[in-house]
């Protein structure tokens, strides 16, 4: 680490990377939602799901105002538990801000340690907080060594995550390479759903794809492989939909594990900042959650192009490269999802589209309890 105070940096880094739940008021009521935590925002109130915490990714998002970050310090300030960085850090670490009791030799050793083997990884993440804090000069050997060890562990985790991401990308490429474009097979699935859709050449069909869960194959069957393209039109992952034409009304297999219903759609590779193109780019575009939603709407809007977000929260990271040439976008919201959450994420996508230069952005919602694919079945029945 070059510049700054490594001791203050280490202290701020531990505060910033503290468990996000430590930034909530003591005894604040939360609930588990999958691997994440949801609760009402202590400052803004609202429903019990206005504030979402992801312990695995160490990020938080307030759905009430749209603020969020990966810092426990930011969360404590946001919730009103502290008025500034220093107060938040003192509460999260349960330590006073470092003072001025360090010798030149101790400081030199601290700097050398922070510069080696990315030991400053955690400290570096506190750079933004350091800009808001006055430099302190205390040094606690045990505390800094604990931070040093934490930095090395973080570096090891980073490397492991990098290798895992690389493995997911290779797996996604393997799925796509093993599949082929079969317009008849793909169209048969959409036709069963009541949708007339001509699949693009980059949409592929795998006749016998394994479904892995809990370290074993629990299903094997046909699947649609749709590439996920980023803003530079690079294929970074795939979206997989397992198909069972003998299983109405969704025509996807019924998969369970220990009594829990499993998803019949999965993403592999890099999904953030990527989406599925159902057509080539057009002056007027439909964007919705899921292939079926967009395909069902395209059959009634032949002069529109179509793009599908892989999930609801993916609207916040839509790949917008080249959207300066798009005049109009209609964002499609399903009526069988939580209306407040759906509207929140669609509005985030709308703001990004407007900033990208799209002249007109509109939101359209299916009736409550239905999605656009359900409407297609009703029209074509």
Q: Is residue 169 part of a domain?
A: no
Residue 73 is predicted with a pLDDT of: 92
Asked if residue 233 and residue 372 are part of one domain, the reply reads yes
Q: Is residue 230 part of a domain?
A: yes
Q: Is residue 170 part of a domain?
A: no
Residue 170 is predicted with a pLDDT of: 80
* Residues above pLDDT 90, as percent of the chain: 35
Domain boundaries, position 348: 179-380
Residue 248 is predicted with a pLDDT of: 93
Asked if residue 194 and residue 99 are part of one domain, the reply reads no
Asked if residue 203 and residue 101 are part of one domain, the reply reads no
Cβ neighbours of residue 252 under 8 Å, at least 6 residues apart? 241, 242, 243, 244, 264, 265
Asked if residue 260 and residue 113 are part of one domain, the reply reads no
Q: Is residue 247 part of a domain?
A: yes
Considering 133, 152, 171, which residue would you say is the last residue of a domain?
A: 152
Q: What is the pTM of this model?
A: 0.59
Q: 166-170, 218-222, 302-306, 319-323: which range is least confident on average?
A: 166-170
Residue 140 above 50 pLDDT? no
Q: In the chain, which residue ranges form alpha helices assigned H by DSSP?
A: 6-16, 72-78, 85-93, 104-115, 121-124, 127-130, 141-178, 183-192, 291-298, 339-355, 372-380
121 or 15: which carries more pLDDT confidence?
Answer: 15
Q: Is residue 78 part of a domain?
A: yes
| 43 φ, ψ (degrees, to nearest 5) | -90, -40
Residue 379 above 50 pLDDT? no
Asked if residue 319 and residue 235 are part of one domain, the reply reads yes
Q: Which of 56-60, 97-101, 161-165, 323-327 has the highest mean pLDDT?
A: 323-327
Q: 99-108, 169-178, 229-238, 304-313: which range is least confident on average?
A: 99-108
Q: Among residues 308, 314, 210, 213, which one has the least CA distance to residue 271?
A: 314
Residue 154 is predicted with a pLDDT of: 66
Asked if residue 98 and residue 236 are part of one domain, the reply reads no
Residue 97 is predicted with a pLDDT of: 80
Section 241-269 average pLDDT: 93
Asked if residue 125 and residue 55 are part of one domain, the reply reads yes
Residue 361 above 70 pLDDT? yes
Asked if residue 111 and residue 207 are part of one domain, the reply reads no
Section 314-325 average pLDDT: 82
pLDDT digits (tens, 9 = 90+) for 67-110: 888 889 999 988 888 888 888 988 998 888 876 555 566 555 55
Q: 6-10, 258-262, 371-375: which range is least confident on average?
A: 6-10
Q: Is residue 186 part of a domain?
A: yes
Asked if residue 27 and residue 100 are part of one domain, the reply reads yes
Asked if residue 360 and residue 300 are part of one domain, the reply reads yes
Residue 257 above 80 pLDDT? yes
Mean pLDDT of the chain: 81
Q: Is residue 161 part of a domain?
A: no
Helices (H) and strands (E) in the chain, counts: 11, 16
Q: Which of 45-59, 96-110, 144-158, 287-301 has the highest mean pLDDT?
A: 287-301
Asked if residue 259 and residue 355 are part of one domain, the reply reads yes
pLDDT digits (tens, 9 = 90+) for 40-65: 888 776 667 788 898 878 888 888 77
Number of domains in the chain: 2
Cβ neighbours of residue 121 under 8 Å, at least 6 residues apart? 151, 154, 155, 158
Residue 81 is predicted with a pLDDT of: 86
Residue 139 is predicted with a pLDDT of: 40
DSSP-derived 3-state class of residue 288: strand
Q: Is residue 163 part of a domain?
A: no
Q: Which of 25-34, 80-89, 195-204, 361-370 has the highest mean pLDDT?
A: 195-204
Asked if residue 241 and residue 99 are part of one domain, the reply reads no
Q: Which CATH number does the domain housing residue 87 bear?
A: 3.90.580.10
Query: Is the CB of residue 74 less than 8 Å from the CB of residue 89?
Result: no
């Amino acid at each position: 680490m070059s510049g700054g105070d490594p001791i203050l940096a280490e202290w701020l880094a531990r505060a910033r990377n503290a468990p996000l739940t430590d930034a909530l008021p003591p005894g604040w009521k939360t609930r588990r939602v999958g691997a994440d935590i949801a609760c009402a925002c202590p400052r803004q109130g609202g429903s019990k799901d206005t504030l979402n915490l992801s312990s695995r990714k160490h990020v938080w998002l307030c759905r009430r105002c749209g603020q969020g970050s990966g810092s426990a310090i930011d969360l404590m300030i946001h919730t009103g538990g502290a008025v500034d960085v220093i107060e938040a850090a003192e509460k999260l670490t349960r330590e006073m801000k470092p003072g001025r009791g360090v010798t030149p030799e101790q400081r030199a050793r601290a700097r050398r340690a922070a510069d080696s083997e990315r030991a400053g990884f955690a400290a570096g993440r506190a750079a933004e907080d350091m800009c808001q804090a006055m430099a302190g000069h205390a040094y606690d050997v045990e505390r800094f060594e604990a931070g040093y060890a934490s930095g090395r562990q973080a570096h090891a985790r980073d490397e492991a995550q990098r290798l895992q991401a690389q493995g997911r990308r290779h797996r996604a490429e393997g799925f796509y390479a093993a599949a082929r474009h079969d317009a008849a097979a793909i169209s048969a699935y959409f036709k069963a759903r009541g949708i007339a859709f001509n699949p693009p050449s980059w949409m592929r069909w795998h006749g016998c794809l394994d479904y892995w869960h809990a370290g074993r194959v629990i299903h094997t069957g046909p699947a649609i492989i749709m590439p996920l393209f980023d803003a530079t039109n690079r294929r970074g992952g795939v979206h997989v939909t397992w198909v069972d034409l003998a299983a109405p009304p969704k025509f996807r297999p019924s998969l369970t594990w220990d009594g829990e219903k499993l998803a019949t759609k999965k993403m592999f590779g890099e999904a953030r900042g990527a989406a599925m193109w159902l057509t080539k780019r057009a002056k007027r575009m439909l964007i919705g959650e899921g292939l079926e939603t967009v395909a069902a709407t395209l059959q009634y809007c032949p002069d529109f192009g179509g793009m599908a977000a892989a999930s609801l929260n993916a609207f916040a990271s839509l790949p917008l490269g080249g959207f300066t040439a798009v005049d109009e976008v209609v964002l499609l919201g399903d009526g069988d999802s939580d209306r407040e959450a759906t509207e929140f994420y669609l509005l985030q996508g709308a703001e990004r589209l407007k900033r990208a230069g799209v002249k007109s952005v509109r939101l359209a919602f299916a009736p409550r309890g239905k999605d656009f694919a359900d409407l297609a079945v009703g029209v074509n029945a």
